Structure 1
Amino acid sequence: MIIFQWLNNQLLKMVWLYDLVELFVNKAFKLDINTKLGGSIHFFIYDVIKIFILLSVLIFTISYIQSFFPPERTRKILGRFDGITANILGALLGTVTPFCSCSSIPLFIGFTSAGLPIGVTFSFLISSPLVDLASVLLLASIFNWRIAIAYVVVGLILAVIGGSLISKFKLEKYVEPFVYGNKLREIELEEMTTKDRLDFSKEQVVDIIKKVWLYIIIGVGIGAAIHNWIPENVISALLGQDKWYSVLLATAVGVPMYADIFGTLPIAEALVSKGVGIGTALSFMMAVTALSLPSMILLKKVVKTKLLVIFAGIVTTGILIIGYTFNALGYLLL
C-alpha cells in the first residue's frame, strides 16, 4: 500500500513536478505560491505540464492498443452480439476511441451504416467523449482513485442505459437515410508491423494534442482564476452543496461550451477546492463533453430532430441523476 501510494504521488499526481514548479516560481518570479499571483502562476504551469505529460503517454498507449482494432474489425466483433451485451461492448469500445464527440460521429455513421443496432451505436456515441482510459488516470491524478473509478462506472452505465432505451423505442427511422446508404466496403485487413503501430501511436499523439491543446490552456487558466482569485463565499453562494439548483446550473452552463474532459478537469478541480459538490463538478464535465452545442449541431446532420431531442433528454436526465447522487454521497469518495 505504501509503495502504491508513492507511485501514485510520483507518477500521477507528480509531486516532484509540483515541487519543481514551486521552486521555479520562487526563483524566477520571486513569488510565494501562497499568494494569489504566485498561486495562480504555480497552478497554471504545474497543471499544464502535468496534463500534457499524462495525456501524451496515455494517448500513445491507447493508440497502440487501438491499432489492433480498426473500425472494420471492431464492427465484425460487435456484430456477433446483440441486446444488453452489445450495448455494454459498444460503451466499452467508446473508452478507447476518439476523445471528443465530434470525432466520434464519423465512427457512429460507419457503425450504423454497417448494420449495427442503433442502440449499440448510441451507447458508443455517449461513452466515447464521456469516458475514456485517459480520464481514469487524469481524474485519479487530480482527485483520487475512488472518484476516478466511480466516474467511469456511472459514465458507462449512462451509456448502456441510454443506448438500451433508444433501442427499445425503435428509433431507427429517425436516422437520416444517407447514413444507411453509406455502406462500408468489405476490405482485407492488413496486419500492421510493430513499427507501423508505433508510428500510428506517435501520429495520434501529435494529432490529438493539436486538437486539444488550446482547450487545456483555457481550462487551466480558468481553473487558476477560480482557485486563487474568486472568493470561496462567492462560489459557494452560486454552486454550494446546499444549493438545490447547483447541478442544474452546472449542467446548463456546460452545454454551450465546447471542450473535452482534459480542458474541464482543471476547472472541476478548482471548483471542488472551493467547496462545490463533486456531483456538481462532474455534471459540468459531463455536460461539456457529451452535450456541447457544436456536437449537437454536428449530430443533427445525421439524425432527425426527434431522435436528437430524445438523445439529449436521456443524457441530460442521466447527468442530473448522477450529479445529485454524487453530491449526496460524495463524502464517501473524497
Structure 2
Amino acid sequence: MWNSTSFHPDYFLLIGIPGLEDSHLLISIPFSIMYVLSFLGNSTLILVISTNEILHQPMYIFLMMLALSDVLLSSSTVPKTLSIFWFNSHEISFNGCLTEVFFIHFTFVIESAILLFMAYDRYCAICHPLTYAKTLTNSFIVKAAMMTVFRSLSMVLPFVFLLKRLPFQQTNVIEHTYCEHMSVAKLATADILVNVVYGLVIAASSSGVDMILIIVSYGVIISAVLRLPSSEARFKAFNTCVSHICVIILFYIPAFFSFIAHRVGHKYISLQFHIIFANLYVLIPPMMNPIIYGVRTREIREKTFIIFTRMTSNRQGRGVTFL
C-alpha cells in the first residue's frame, strides 16, 4: 500500500458517510436523481444556447459557461460517490485523488469568476445601457474566459504540489465521499500550516474578492433602479437580476459552509452533516441553475420547446417511414 520512496500511499480509501454506511444505498437514490437532472439540465442549456444565434449574447454566453462548469463540477465527484454507495468501491489512487482535488477547486474558482462577470453584465445592461454593446463585445468575452481559466489554474495547481510534498505514513482513510484539499491534508504526518494558510489566501483572493465585487455591483444596480421614473421600469430591471441573485445564493452559502466546517472541526458541526452538505453543494446548485434560468427566461423556454418539438416530430416521422 505504501510507496516507501515518497511516503505516499498507492491509494486512499474513501469511507463515504461515516456512521451512515447502512443507509448508503438509500442516500444514493436522491443523489443519483439530482445528478441526472443536473447533467440533463445543463446539457440542454449548452445545446439550446450554442445552436441558437439569437442567444449568442453576453448574458447567455456566460450562462453557457456556467452550465459547462456545473457539468464539470458534479461529474468530477458524483460518479465516484455513487460507486462507493452502489458497489463499495472505496479505493482511489493517490494521483486520482489529487486529480479530483484539482478539478473540484479549479471549477469552484471558475464558477465564482463567471458569477462575477454575470453581475458585471447586469451592471452594464442596467446602469450603462447605451454603451452595453460596445463594452461586452465578443472580444471581451473571450478575454474574460481566458483570464478566468488562467486565474483558476494559477491558484489551484499549487494545491496539488502542496499535497504531494506531504508524507502520509499513518493512515490512508479519508472520511469523505470525495477528495477535497483539507480532507486529504489532515491525513499527513507533517505540519500542514502552509496548506491551511494557502487555502485561506486563495479563498479570500478569489471567491472573497469576487463576492465583494458582486455585492458592490448590485449596490450600484439597486441605486440606479430606484432612480427609474416608473414602477414598471423598476420591476422589469429588478426582474432581470432575480435569476442571477438566486444562483449566487445557491453557490456561495453551501461553499462557505463547507469551507468553515473544515476549519472549525466537528465539535460544532457533525461529520455526517458536513459530508452530506458537501455533497449537496456539488449537486443542488448545478441542478437548480438550469431550472432557475429555464423557468425565468422566456427566450430559453421558447428555444428549448422548439428543439424538443423538432426532436419529437423527427422521431415520429422516422417511425412512420419505417412502418
TM-score bin, normalised by smaller chain: under 0.3
Work out which of the two has the higher radius of gyration on C-alpha atoms and give 1 or 2.
2
Q: Structure 2-normalised TM-score?
A: 0.28
